[in-house]
Amino acid sequence: MMDFISQCRAALGAAHVLQAPADMAPFLTDQRGRFTGQALAVLRPGSAEEVAALVRACAEYRVTLVPQGGNTGLVLGSVPDLSGRQVLLSLARLNRIREVDAVNRTMTVDAGCILQHVQQAAAAEGCLFPLSLAAEGSCTIGGNLSTNAGGTAVLRYGNMRELCLGLEVVTPQGEIWNGLRGLRKDNTGYDLRDLFIGAEGTLGVITGAVLKLYPQPKASLTALAALRSPAAALQLLVLMQDHCGASLTGFELMSQYCLQLVAQQFPQLRQPFAAPHAQYVLLELSNSEPEQHAVGLLERAIGAALERGVIDDAVVASSVAQSAALWQLREHIPLAQARAGKNIKHDISLPVSRIADFITATGPRLDAAFPGCQLVCFGHVGDGNLHYNVAPPDGIAHEDFLLNQDQVNRLVYDSVAAFGGSISAEHGIGALKRDELARYKSPVELNMMRAIKSALDPLGIMNPGKIL
Amino acid sequence: MMDFISQCRAALGAAHVLQAPADMAPFLTDQRGRFTGQALAVLRPGSAEEVAALVRACAEYRVTLVPQGGNTGLVLGSVPDLSGRQVLLSLARLNRIREVDAVNRTMTVDAGCILQHVQQAAAAEGCLFPLSLAAEGSCTIGGNLSTNAGGTAVLRYGNMRELCLGLEVVTPQGEIWNGLRGLRKDNTGYDLRDLFIGAEGTLGVITGAVLKLYPQPKASLTALAALRSPAAALQLLVLMQDHCGASLTGFELMSQYCLQLVAQQFPQLRQPFAAPHAQYVLLELSNSEPEQHAVGLLERAIGAALERGVIDDAVVASSVAQSAALWQLREHIPLAQARAGKNIKHDISLPVSRIADFITATGPRLDAAFPGCQLVCFGHVGDGNLHYNVAPPDGIAHEDFLLNQDQVNRLVYDSVAAFGGSISAEHGIGALKRDELARYKSPVELNMMRAIKSALDPLGIMNPGKIL
């Protein structure tokens, strides 16, 4: 392996080939601290050409590689295994905004750019890059692409796949594919772009991308509605979309237990309703028109919802500060969970129309199997995405409850499958859900995936053990 | 081959295996009448299971197959070759609307459903299926998917790829992949859906799809703006998007020569401006709000454009009839071209920001090579898509001018490539542009496409000679 390392040093300069345990440590443990892998080296290339040189070296010496962006992934997709024979390829030094084209509404960036920097560069040109998620201060565009990231604006703008027009990829043969096209329409052969997006680094290394930008919204307005049930939330969604169309940019469901958890852990946050309700929906409207227009639109829609008995109560933010306070409730749910102790997490999606039935059916099954367990159920309901987390019954230690993880997962995922849903809505598969994937995907689909993997990466050097 | 035909008859019933020349004829010539192929038989299955049985027979006997929907394709993608050894697989009998889910805003359909029937079924549930194009009365969803169709609503709703959530596909092995998922978020492995979409039947046969629906817009408003140049049209696009956001649903450029052609061939159509202008943009606004809101929005935006000198004049339709009259001008351009005689057509796309430079640079080059040639240049400029057609100089017979087709294509496509564009924006590659694809795609990209083709269809039975 010394020859291989020498070749890496020659390609990058010795300073960017890390081998000391202390230097490598930050790259080897996943964000939630669940797993620590080992690596032969951490490689920090500074350009697509350097990435290509490293991949060619990996192919020559049959060294497998694990690409990593901001190391904020949630499914152990960007940390190496325990063998110590893999290299960790950090894309963090590829961090240039290459070009902003305000007329084409596109931005060309290196894969290692941090999402927040991309958002800021778009805003500086009067544009919006809509992807927004909790890790935006440290996650990278390459990771967002490789996991087809979702977040809070999918309802209006789509997932990362819908926000990307073109890619630059280093293939498993160490060639650079320049697919950095800024085209809204291009029907010239197979859609390689969308194949690499969401492939979690198993088919090639994304080194650059052309991202889609949108006009910056001029006004944004937030409201919180109180409802009796998830079924009412679905009625509200249809009503809001009929009234507001594309101006409805956020629709987040939270159960009473979620807000109770936030109130317990963060008593300083103001709870908007005097009495508790079973469910809440956080609504956001934003568009290119003056704020008074959004106010009128939202008031009419909320009025119709109250009149038809779809919602029981609502507060509409009348200032930016009030909007922020309502969003804080939503954003503090994961933080409150973390303070309360570990729980068993699921990032699932369902057809929107089946969410209420899923919640109604699955809760009692969990309660029958694990009496008294608590559901922390919230999420991007407008996209059919639930964060469906199971916490221990009162009086049971979190560590003890986690021993039931496999049985809880089986029960939840079987229910997801029965309702036509997905076991990973926005986090990906990685190493964490690989066995679950094999269980829930059809052999026909798995075989096609394996055929594509073998065709593009016949040596199997690209992030093996992830997804497949 | 008799054994193969017997097997097809056993699978479908003899009535759906056509072999008489008169029965087969309608399936063997492309819509524009440019090419007539030959076939061993025309097979008309009635279900995905029957398609699968036929594909297994094809694999067993090494018979290659050509899937066909409404036979409205423009690139010879769905007609057989001259060998007489291929079978034509018509999906027309798979024409059931399987399910409409108004809460999930999805519709599950057979691939052979005619686009207009799908639009109507959506409307009956108060929803919109936004794909709209000239052939909508006879083209099928399977063909729309296989060519990733575009049309007039891409600016707001995207191409067919963005309008599809899930697929059912018969693989080259004759297995049925049930990927009919109605999920907005699903990150569980490689994106096979988008690989089959746009693959023009070369990787498998699409038999069903889950389509995305939208709320039906409540108001729609049309205007025609007169401008000095394509550069002004781009300024107008940015201004309109900043003012109207997602409410801007149409933005179509037409040159003076296009409207002149329409006036010559259809003198009964009213021309909206007394004096000619160099360029025109047809604008459409639509959203979920009352019509008076759209009127105010459009008037403010048009006012700003006039004030800044971006446009020279504008008419805003004040009735549905006036809107229709403005759209008729746009829709009569292809008809007027057809009446005037054949020309050399290009369906190209460019980064939106480079359209004006492309037009400015390419016209003089064509004029230098073919003095006096006329450009019929119009299209979906909001998507970067131009229909850039070259007509003969006055006094030159259309048939004679068509002899220059290869040289004209070379000049236009070289210019498209130089400006970062695509030689096929929305029509696909088929057999017609296969050699052009090989010329303009990088070897890296072509090799990946070939590797995928071989991996999924190792026997090469799926629509060979198309795309690759």
Q: Read off the pLDDT of residues B86-95 as tens digits, 9 standing for 90 and up.
A: 999 999 999 9
Contacts of A150 in chain B (CB under 8 A): 185, 187
Distances (CA, A) of B37 to A205, A359, B73: 43, 55, 14
- State yes or no: pLDDT of A1 exceeds 80: no
Output the average pLDDT for chain A: 96
Distances (CA, A) of A300 to B220, B366, B406: 20, 56, 59
Q: Which two tokens stand for residue A208?
A: 């650059």
pLDDT at A380: 92
The label of the residue with tokens 């059809």 reads A442
The DSSP secondary-structure symbol of A145 reads H
DSSP string for residues in A256-272: HHHHHHHHHH-TTSPPS
Is B246's CB within 8 Å of A161's CB?
no
Chain A residue whose CA is closest to B455: A451
Min Cα separation A349/chain B (Å)? 6
DSSP string for residues in A382-432: GGTEEEEEEEPPTTS-HHHHHTTHHHHHHHHHHHHHHTT-BS-SSS--TTT
Is B289's CB within 8 Å of A245's CB?
yes
Tell me the pLDDT tens digit for each residue of A360-419.
999 999 999 999 999 999 999 999 999 999 999 999 999 999 999 999 999 999 999 999
Is B349's CB within 8 Å of A185's CB?
yes
Contacts of A214 in chain B (CB under 8 A): 245
Burial class (CB in 10 A: 0-12, 13-18, 19+), B260: middle
**Paired strand residues for A313:** A226
Is A194's CB within 8 Å of B199's CB?
no
> Could you give the domains of chain B?
2-90 (3.30.43.10), 97-215 (3.30.465.10), 219-340 (3.30.70.2190), 341-452 (3.30.70.2740)
Min Cα separation B22/chain A (Å)? 33
> Which 306-345 residues of chain B touch chain A by CB within 8 A?
none
The band of A2, judged by pLDDT with boundaries at 50, 70 and 90, is confident
- Interaxial angle between packed helices B355-369 and B230-244, expressed in degrees from 0 to 180 and rounded to the nearest 10: 160
Contacts of A178 in chain B (CB under 8 A): 442, 444
Contacts of A287 in chain B (CB under 8 A): 245-247
User: What ranges make up the beta strands (E) of A131-287?
Assistant: 164-170, 176-179, 205-212, 214-215, 219-227, 248-255, 279-287
Closest CA to B216 of B112, B312, B129, B150: B129
Contacts of B451 in chain A (CB under 8 A): 455-456
Beta carbons of B210 and B164 less than 8 angstroms apart: yes
pLDDT at A414: 98
pLDDT at A376: 96
pLDDT at A388: 97
Tell me the pLDDT tens digit for each residue of A138-186.
999 999 999 999 988 999 999 999 999 999 999 999 999 999 999 999 9
Is B452's CB within 8 Å of A456's CB?
yes
Task: Give the SS3 label for residue B350.
Answer: coil
pLDDT at B286: 93
Q: Which two tokens stand for residue B235?
A: 């300024």
A187: nearest CB among B191, B427, B441: B427
Mutate to test the interface with A, among B146, B206, B422, B448 (most CBs of A within 10 A): B448
What is the ipTM for the molecules in this complex?
0.97
Beta carbons of A117 and A97 less than 8 angstroms apart: yes
The label of the residue with tokens 């390609």 reads A11
The contacts of residue B33 (CB under 8 Å, 6+ apart) are none
**Any CB–CB contact under 8 A between A123 and chain B?**
no
pLDDT at B316: 94
**Paired strand residues for A208:** A110, A168
**Low-confidence spans in chain B with pLDDT less than 70:** none
Beta carbons of A249 and A155 less than 8 angstroms apart: yes
Q: Which two tokens stand for residue B348?
A: 């190209």
**Any CB–CB contact under 8 A between B197 and chain A?**
yes
**Any CB–CB contact under 8 A between B106 and chain A?**
yes
**Any CB–CB contact under 8 A between A192 and chain B?**
yes
In 10 A of CB A60, how many CB atoms?
13
What is the greatest pairwise CA distance in chain B? 74
pLDDT at B318: 87
Distances (CA, A) of B463 to A195, B25, B246: 21, 19, 38
Contacts of B246 in chain A (CB under 8 A): 156, 245-247, 287
pLDDT at A291: 87
Sheet holding A65-68, edge to edge: A17-18, A41-43, A87-90, A65-68
The contacts of residue A406 (CB under 8 Å, 6+ apart) are none
Beta carbons of B39 and B84 less than 8 angstroms apart: yes
- State yes or no: pLDDT of A320 exceeds 90: no
Closest CA to A282 of A274, A272, A291, A270: A272
Chain A residue whose CA is closest to B177: A444
**Any CB–CB contact under 8 A between A442 and chain B?**
yes
